[in-house]
Amino acid sequence: MAVLPLFLCSSLVFLSSVVAQQGLQNGFYSSSCPKAEATVKSTVQAHFNRDPTLAAGLLRLHFHDCFVQGCDGSVLITGASAERNALPNLGLRGFEVIDDAKKQLEGLCPGVVSCADILALAARDSVDLSNGPSWTVPTGRRDGRISSSSEASNLPSPADSVAVQRQKFAAKGLDDKDLVTLVGAHTIGQTDCLFFRYRLYNFTATGNADPTINQALLSQLRALCPPNGDVSKRVALDKDSQANFDVSFFKNVRDGNGVLESDQRLWGDAATRTYVQNYAGSIRGLLGLRFDLNFAKSMIKMSSIEVKTGSQGEIRKICSQFN
Ligand code: HEM
Ligand SMILES: *[C@@H]1O[C@H](CO)[C@@H](O)[C@H](O)[C@H]1NC(C)=O
């Protein structure tokens, strides 16, 4: 961890040209709660120091928030019929980090900082802490008043074809480039065996494994996820580089080392393959900045999906409950 600050400086991406998105603005809290962003950052840092895998959890949490009801904190609400209880959301992690940041912010400036913004900021800080890029997050989101598990079908499934992935992202205003770039988030984090074991043994009832899996990876994954083993066993999404936000995920997809079927399929479609190839070929340094830069740009787009601003929604007092 001692070398971290060096990496952070070298990979910082400035996006001052991106100022306003969907009614959001850079530094929305600069006068109403000047310490808002620093408080989120120090909270994420403290939790990350104890458990670095929370960075991946927080990044995914923001994605799942944005795809259902927009980026409005709807994923944070607890309750039997809430979004958080939908099948694709059962493995989400990092809620305690958001609750912790909110608690501190309610002490500093009560009723001012939305849970939706805390999530967007925490996702940015998590990427930064994982040696990835940093960017300015436009803020001013308001928290939603609806959270329903039945709406989580908007979320992509790991068995989705590229056509379906494309359609689900397009429905949120995100194109092929955004899709490939944002799925690059799988450069950090893990998956349960549950989500890919079907590829290893009797894929599409052929009796064989998914033929697109690299043979060496296939042996490793079979050892980690035996036919009758524990489906909740965790496996890295980015072989050999799961804690580092880098381009190795794209090299893995190129080489048949994608763990999720949806990730590997990005190599089988001509349009998405071009982006994978481009990122896989880049070297950290001069060309490596391209994934960093595009990730920051696409995150700002994703973070702006169907946001509520102005007098819409509310500013929750507790992130897991409506006021
Ligand atoms: C086609 C689109 C996508 C599909 C099908 C997909 C699917 C999945 C699945 C099945 C997992 C494993 C969950 C678990 O077992 O806990 C996962 C993990 C993850 N996803 Fe995605 N994902 C997609 C796009 C994204 C995007 C756009 C982001 C963020 C920008 C993202 C960030 C993550 C992260 C960071 C993890 C690791 C979480 C952890 O370690 O706790 N994913 N994804
Ligand atoms: C694969 O699945 C199909 C359909 O369920 C089944 O008929 C077949 O026997 C299975 N093959 C193996 C090798 O398990």
DSSP assignments along 25-92, one per residue: ETTTTTTT-TTHHHHHHHHHHHHHHH-TTHHHHHHHHHHHHHHTTSSSSGGG--STTSGGGSGGGTT-
What values do phi and psi take at 242, rounded to 5? Answer: -75, -15
Q: How far does the centroid of ligand 2 lie from the alpha carbon of residue 199, in Å?
A: 13
Q: For 6-155, CATH number?
A: 1.10.520.10
Which of 202, 203, 206, 210, when mutated, tests ligand 2's pocket best, judged by the most ligand atoms within 8 Å of its CB?
202
Starting from the CA of residue 201, give the closest ligand.
2
> Residue 84 and residue 20: Cα distance in Å, rounded?
29
Cα distance between residue 53 and residue 130, in whole Å: 9
Going from the Cα of 197 to the center of ligand 2, the distance in angstroms, rounded, reads 15
- What is the distance in A from the centroid of ligand 2 to the CA of 209? 12
Pocket of ligand 1 (CB under 6 A): 53, 56-57, 59-60, 63, 91, 93, 156-158, 160, 165, 182-183, 185-186, 188-192, 195, 260, 262
Q: Under a CB-based contact definition with an 8 Å cutoff, are residues 246 and 283 in contact?
A: no
| Res 284: pLDDT | 53
| CA 153 to ligand 1 centroid distance, Å | 15
Tell me, yes or no, if 62 is annotated catalytic: no
Residue intervals in the chain for CATH 1.10.520.10? 6-155
User: Looking at residue 154, what DSSP letter applies?
Assistant: G
User: What residues does ligand 2 touch, defined as CB less than 6 Å away?
Assistant: 202, 205, 207
Token digits for 43? 């909270």
CA distance 323 to 320: 10
- List, as residue ranges, the binding site for Ca(2+): 65, 68, 70, 72, 74, 83, 187, 238, 246
pTM for the complete prediction? Answer: 0.93
Ligand 1 atom closest to residue 157's alpha carbon, by position in its atom list: 5
Domain 162-298 sits in which CATH superfamily? Answer: Peroxidase, domain 2 (1.10.420.10)
What sign results for the dihedral spanned by CA atoms 204, 168, 166, 249?
Answer: negative
Task: Give the single-character DSSP code of 12.
Answer: B
Q: Where in the chain is the domain with CATH 1.10.420.10?
A: 162-298
Q: In this structure, which residue's CA is closest to atom 10 in ligand 2? A: 207
Q: Which residue is associated with the tokens 């799961």?
A: 242
185 within 8 A of 57, measured Cβ to Cβ: no
Q: Which of 64, 102, 199, 273 is catalytic?
A: 64
- CA 87 – CA 110 distance, rounded (Å): 33
Q: From the CA of 186, how far away is ligand 1's center (Å)?
A: 6
Which residue ranges in the chain fall short of pLDDT 50? 1-20, 285-289
Q: From the alpha carbon of 202, which atom of ligand 2 is closest? A: 1
